[in-house]
Structures are given as structure tokens and as C-alpha cells.
Structure 1
């Protein structure tokens, strides 16, 4: 992530794997050999926040193969090389955006046969590693040791596909729109002030509450975006509470993670599966209760107040403004969101 939110002009297409099949743009892969140790492939993002200017922490182990793709287009070639080597463990050395790019590129290559995955929290935001209990100083050797002696946590990313181009898709874990997009932009300012991870989440949330309390209906934090949501199975529309403009929603937040940074619980008691938290239009009276609602409290009249919490097998969203997936923006439009493959993540011993 840069100082401003990067916006993709389109979603990646699955035929990007063709470049890997032709050997085009392949990044350099370091080390060789296997031996009796698990075969490990490392995607190292030198642009990740905590990787800048730091050396790779893998020593000279012959069973560890390190790829440093110069850009996203080189990821398929690196992952295809790992697949051909039959790696037992794929280590993603980077933040949430790096994880999103690796999963998106790797889906056409690994399909239903992904290796175990470990994620090192090296980005500005590392929401996935919060859910996986990965310590902030987790290293490549520690992840390899956890492959043998640690825990396995199964998580399934979301798959987002534009309805006009089903061959295009992106995989990720945290999706948001409306005030969430503004919050991500505000988070960039928090990063400039030196706030990262859970602290950045707290700073951004506090700023959003202030805007919701003191802003007018024309304030972008309160105005919301035009949004249609239909839940699967069945395709029923998510009913609007009547708070505010029935064509607009103030916030959409969706994730398959079970624990969030800063201890927030936007989905209340819901943990498993693909979850949505949707805010139609918050009143100033409800804003005073928002910290308790985000902390997991569920009042009986939550829906009447304009706040929805649901679990679905998938949903369709149509937005008139960009949405955010794992820290970066994607174009407005109509999308199908479904649950992706179940992946086995390596976590430290309990």
C-alpha cells in the first residue's frame, strides 16, 4: 500500500496463469534441493512495510526456495515453479495485500491442492495473521518449525467475480464499501502518523465515529453509497431498515475471518462462514451505541436501528463506488461474492 489507496482498473483474469505456463516474466528463484526437510516456497515482497531494507531470514537451507516477484504479473510463474517442486509449505512474506495477490494468482495453479500456508505479518495491516495467532516477529525458520509442530487453522477466502466477466476474479479476506472505503483512506493518514495494525484500526474507527456524529447528511461518511445486496442461496434482497435513503447504505463489511484486529466484533456472535455487517444509515442516537455494537453487543432492535448482521453462502453486490479488498480499491459495478477453497494455514503451537 502506498500513501494513497491504489485502485485497480479491473480484476485479474484467471488466464494470467498462461504467462506462467509459457515461462514469461518468471522471477528469480533462489536455493535448490530438498533432502528430508519439508520443501518450502517463500513469496517475499520486498515492498512490504516491515521488509524494507531487511535481508531474507532463511539462511542457506537447501530445501527453501525464495521468489521475489518484481510485480503481480510475475506471481503466476513463481507459484507454478513452486507447484512443480511440490512444495509442502508456502510462506507468504508480506501484508494482507500480498496474501490477496498470492491467493488470486495461485487459484488457477493449485486449484483444490494448495500446500499448507504460513503468513508472516510484514505489511502495514495484517488482519489475517491476527486471526491466525501469528506473532509480530514470526520468521521463516519459526514458520517451518510450526509446519512440523504447530497448529493448522482452516480458513476460506472470499472469491469476488464481476458478473460481466466471470473469468476475472480476486480472492481475499476483508471486503468493505461505503464508509469502509473512506476509513481505508483515513488509515493511510494513520500510517503516516506511525499507526499500524490494531492501532491504525482504532485511530480510523475513532475518526469515523466523529464524522458520523458531527457531520451533516452531505458528509461522505454519512451519505453512503448506492448499493444493492442479494443473499445466497435464493438471491433474496437484504431488506433495508428504512433508516435514510432506501437506495443507499452507509457501510458494507464482509469477511470470512473469525477474529478481527483491535478486538472488534462487527459480526457479534457470528464467527463461522462468510459474514456481512451492513449499516443502512446511522442516527446520532445510535452512533453513541456504536462502540458497544462494534464490540459485539447485539440489542434486540439492531435491525430497526439500521444495522444488519448475517451469514450467507455468498451474495451479489452492486455498487456505484469502488470497494476495498484487503487494503486496495477495485472498480464499482456488479459482483458475485462466494466462499473460496478451504486453505490450511500454519499457526504457532498453542
Structure 2
């Protein structure tokens, strides 16, 4: 019988971990010893994971928000490239925890650590993160679960301001991100610039695509490898989860019927008129090539627009997420 070796990667800078004054990590270290790692900076993750790999770790719990999870998945895929990937457990403690809303562990605090130390019988699900890369080689590729550009990137920049984070912690930030796009349209001075969007051309690979690509401007572009978001929000209408790939939504500049469309999508509905509308495209893709003058946001991290404006989205390695 194979014995599962569990470890914990703890981000002391995440919102919840910073607020508890180290109580959780002290408890975890008492129970897990050297298999509890506190990573102050993402740049330290490869060294920590190389050590955990050498010690036979095949279940890694991550205590942090979406950004921490993204950084850990990227580093895990790199360090474990020559052997099976470890299973992953998400213990949410960040500003935004969209990933945990879909594949979270389901326990917190001491109860979570105790269960991780006896992992037999845990349930699991598979998710394939999106790999974001820059064909021009400007920076290393990264893995993530939820992102976007054009209007989404604008809204995230607003949501990241300190005043907003005080009033929109955790997954409420996604509400602000989505609604801020709509709220901006109420003000005449910002209406035209938001509706005009940003330059975005894309081509996609996948089955069942309504169009293989387009050129023009985009009011809002979002994509995810998750299968569920918080509070019933689901701004995509490709329900066939048996298809390989990630979901995406592209809303053209100056879209018609935008309030009506948002009203439906924020409730997880996509009526036939919306599916057939020329200004709204949603599908599942295995890979996409993008050209844009917009920043790209992945799991809360803002990546400035590249010099050439070219990006690639594709399926990354499949991870097994465990939960109770």
C-alpha cells in the first residue's frame, strides 16, 4: 500500500494568514514539521518544491489566494516535469478565492491539517489550468485558472485599489470586477472609452467553435479553466464540460443589449438570443492566439501588455485537486 506524503505551502502575506498573526502556520508546523513551508516570495517556490519532491511529497496543500495558487501550480509543473504531478489541496486565505470555490479542500484550520495527514479516502477532481505564454519570449509562461483582458483588465485594476479591497474582500471582489464594467457606463465621460474597449484579435483551436477567430475591438474578454464560480455567476454558455479545453467569452466593442446580457450572465443564464448574438462569443478552446494592446490578468496578477501584443493561451498539465 502506497503511503501518501503530504506537505503544506503557506503564504504568510495572504489576507487571512496575515490577519491570524502566524497561529495557523505555527499549528501546522507542530503537526507537519519540515513538510510545512512558509514561502515569503514566489521566487522561493522552486527551491522549496525541489526539496519537497526529493522527500517524496505527492500531496501539496496551498494556503493562500488565487495568486498564490497560480504561482504554486506554475512552479509545481516545472519542478515535477519529469514525474507524476502531486495532488493539490486548496486552503483559501487570499483576497480572492475563485479557485477554491470550485476545487477547494472543504476544511479549514486544524481540521484541514489533520485530514491532510490522513488523506485516505479523499475525493478528487481534475482541472487543466490555462498556460499563458508570450510567443516573443518576453517572460516565462505561467499557469492559472481565471483571467482576461480588455474590460476585465480595466476592472481588475480598479478592484486592486486599496480602498476597494477594504470593502470587497475574498470572492466579493469578482462582483466588483464584473459590476464595475457596467457601472462605468453610467458616467458619460467614461462611457465611450469603456464601450470602445481595446484592440483584440484572436484565433482559436477546438471543437464546436462558432467562429475560428475574429479581428477588431473587445469590450470584455474572460477565460477560465474552472467549472464553477461563486454565487451562481457563470458568464459563459458552453455547458458541455466533457469537451477538452478552457471556456472563454468575448464581448465586442459597443455591444448591443449589454445590460440585458449582463443580467442573464451574472445569474448563470444564456438564453438563445444571447447565444446567437453577433456581439457575444463563448466557446471551449484548446488553444488561442491573441493580439491585443491590453494588459492580461491571470488569477489576479496583472501582466503588462507585451511589446508585440501577442499572447498564447493553451491547456496546461492536468492537476488532481483533492477535497473532502
* TM-score, shorter chain, exceeding 0.5: yes
Question: Which consecutive unaligned segments of at least 5 residues does structure 2 have?
Answer: none
In structure 2, the partner of 1:238 is: 213
Q: Which residue, out of 268, 282, 295, partners 1:309?
A: 282
The TM-score normalised by the length of structure 2 is 0.85
Question: Which consecutive unaligned segments of at least 5 residues does structure 1 have?
Answer: 1-35, 240-245
CA distance in 2, matches of 1:136, 1:284: 43
- 1:192 deviates by 3.3
> How many residues are aligned here?
307
Deviations 1:75-95 (A, max 9, x none): 110000011011121111111
- 1:269 deviates by 4.5
Q: Which residue, out of 221, 231, 235, partners 1:262?
A: 231
- 1:262 deviates by 2.5
- 1:146 deviates by 7.0
The TM-score normalised by the length of structure 1 is 0.79
In structure 1, the partner of 2:183 is: 210
CA spacing shift, 1:271–1:264, aligned 2, 3 Å: farther
Contact 1:201–1:262 (CA under 8 A) maintained in structure 2: no
CA distance in 2, matches of 1:70, 1:59: 16
Contact 2:171–2:230 (CA under 8 A) maintained in structure 1: yes
CA distance in 2, matches of 1:118, 1:64: 18
CA distance in 2, matches of 1:160, 1:251: 18
Contact 1:268–1:295 (CA under 8 A) maintained in structure 2: no
Q: Which residue, out of 53, 62, 80, partners 2:50?
A: 80
RMSD between aligned alpha carbons?
Answer: 2.7
Contact 2:249–2:280 (CA under 8 A) maintained in structure 1: yes
Q: Which residue, out of 298, 308, 318, partners 2:270?
A: 298
Aligned pair 1:103/2:73, yes or no?
yes
- 1:191 deviates by 4.3
Contact 2:184–2:190 (CA under 8 A) maintained in structure 1: no
- 1:107 deviates by 1.6
Give SS of 2:30's match: coil
Aligned pair 1:341/2:317, yes or no?
yes
Deviations 1:186-220 (A, max 9, x none): 32246433322332222333332222354467644
